[in-house]
Amino acid sequence: MTRSDGRTATDLRPVTIERGWSTQAEGSALISFGNTKVLCTASFTNGVPRWLKGKGTGWVTAEYSMLPRSTNDRMDRESVKGKIGGRTHEISRLIGRSLRAVVDMKALGENTIVIDCDVLQADGGTRTAAITGAYVALADSLEWGRDKGFIGKNSKPLIDSVAAVSVGIVKGEPLLDLAYVEDVKAETDMNVVVTGRGLFVEVQGTAEGAPFDRDELNALLDLALGGTADLTAMQVASLAS
């Protein structure tokens, strides 16, 4: 089966990473997975929230948001509604957990990094693009912290890299990196977060239509491991440039 944008089932969409997009943030990346574009910034602060003070460990957290017209129909702003929706909360928490999984908080020391992932344009896979770009911003902010002397010369706060991709079953066929038109038709939708070494950080599979069996689950995991390996290579290339 050829997909509407000409990809095969195992192809990622074209991925670009504009590292250092922001002139203000300590680390940043404007990442695109096809038409999905997410601006990721990392804000590094020396010091930790009060509840962590004196414990010798750092903190990494994330916030995700969509611009009101990042989508095909305009959404109301959560700031105007006065509250954050469940989906936003869920994705912010997912990004934070994914990044913390590859950070040694002792090695980070009493420093705080807040990652903001703002979706400028949405065409499916915004949370996986966000995680993948956030890692690049995070890595650069850690280098900034090292340059400023907030992180010790021999400390290695990054214990691995992390990337994420969506997979799903559309009309019975497992596909990698769903675009929005595929996502809405998917019977099963899964987001998989994987480290550079190929270990799972998160596996979140949901039957949107029919429940799925063990074989389908395995096929999706295979696809995801292929995709995240490719994304890891792009992260490495971006950080080396």
Q: Which residues are annotated as a binding site for phosphate?
A: 87, 125-127
Max Cα separation, the chain? 57
Which residue type sits at 46?
N
Which residue type sits at 203?
V
> Tell me, what DSSP letter sits at residue 52?
G
23 binds its own copies (CB under 8 A): yes
Stretch that binds its own copies, among 2-10, 71-79, 125-133, 166-174 (CB under 8 A): 71-79
Q: Least separation, in Å, of the C-beta of 153 and its own copies?
A: 26
Which residue type sits at 82?
G
Answer for which of 48, 205, 224, 228 binds its own copies (CB under 8 A) is 205
Q: Six-digit token pair at 78?
A: 């959560």
Beta strands in 15-172 (DSSP E): 15-19, 27-33, 36-46, 59-66, 111-121, 162-170
Closest CA to 237 of 156, 161, 165, 179: 161
Q: Least separation, in Å, of the C-beta of 203 and its own copies?
A: 4
How many residues touch its own copies under the rule CB under 8 A: the total is: 63
Stretch that binds its own copies, among 2-10, 53-61, 148-156, 190-198 (CB under 8 A): 190-198
CA 51 to chain centre: 27
Residue matched to tokens 């344009």:
121
Stretch that binds its own copies, among 9-17, 34-42, 50-58, 124-132 (CB under 8 A): 34-42
Is residue 33 a contact partner of residue 129, using CB atoms and an 8 Å limit? yes
Residues that bind its own copies (CB under 8 A): 22-25, 28, 35, 39, 41, 43, 45, 63, 65, 67-72, 74, 77-90, 92-93, 97, 101, 114, 116, 118, 120-121, 160, 190, 195, 197-207, 210-214, 217, 221
